[in-house]
Copies of this chain bind each other. A is one copy, B any other.
Amino acid sequence: MKIAVFHGSTRVNGNTEYLTYQAVPKEKGTHIYLRDHDIQPIIDKRHAPEGFPVVEDDHTQLIDQLLEHDTLVFSTPIYWYGMSGPMKTFIDRWSQILRDDSYSHFRVALKEKNVYLIIVGGDHPRVKGLPLIQQFNYICEFYGMTLKDYVIGQARRPGDIVNDQVALTAASTLIHID
């Protein structure tokens, strides 16, 4: 099992990150912190005659890493009841990848991926985070990825997550790492 974790938080060592390490310790997976990468917002050129322009940023490098792993963990704080902007921007650009001849295998390759979600919020995340789970489920369905499971943590202030014993336990048993 090769695990890639995509961290959507913009804060270093935040609650979401802490919870995620219970699921995938630092040394057990490839941890990618989206905040450390330059990812430009998509400009929808799917229907433009010239197609998408080449974008000089880190996106394709991250996609390459994604493709090298069979298990994908998307870890994001709940920002305004959705995934973080950086994670949304990262995923929006998949539309460009789908039109990129160098990645014609992208969609088929994703079909083999197992996906886990870890989301953390401060405002009733066990209920108000459900649309985000549903959104990710649709993303997985689109690609034929398997949404294996998810953990929803509750935390508002830094460090709060240590009090969500249920989430910590759930995270620590989320993925059966060899």
A131 interface residue (CB < 8 Å to B): yes
Residue contact B139 to A89, C-beta cutoff 8 Å: no
Chain B: minimal CB distance from A93 (Å): 8
Interface residues of A in 8-62 (CB under 8 A from B): 9-11, 14, 35, 41-45, 47
Chain B: minimal CB distance from A157 (Å): 7
A5 interface residue (CB < 8 Å to B): no
Residues on A facing B (Cβ under 8 Å): 9-11, 14, 35, 41-45, 47, 77, 79-86, 88-89, 91-92, 94-95, 123, 126-128, 130-135, 137-139, 142, 147, 149-150, 157-158, 165-166, 169-170, 173
User: Other than the known A11-B44, A131-B135, what 11 A-B pairs have Cβ atoms closer than 8 Å?
Assistant: A47-B157, A47-B158, A80-B138, A80-B142, A84-B92, A89-B89, A123-B138, A126-B150, A131-B131, A134-B134, A169-B173
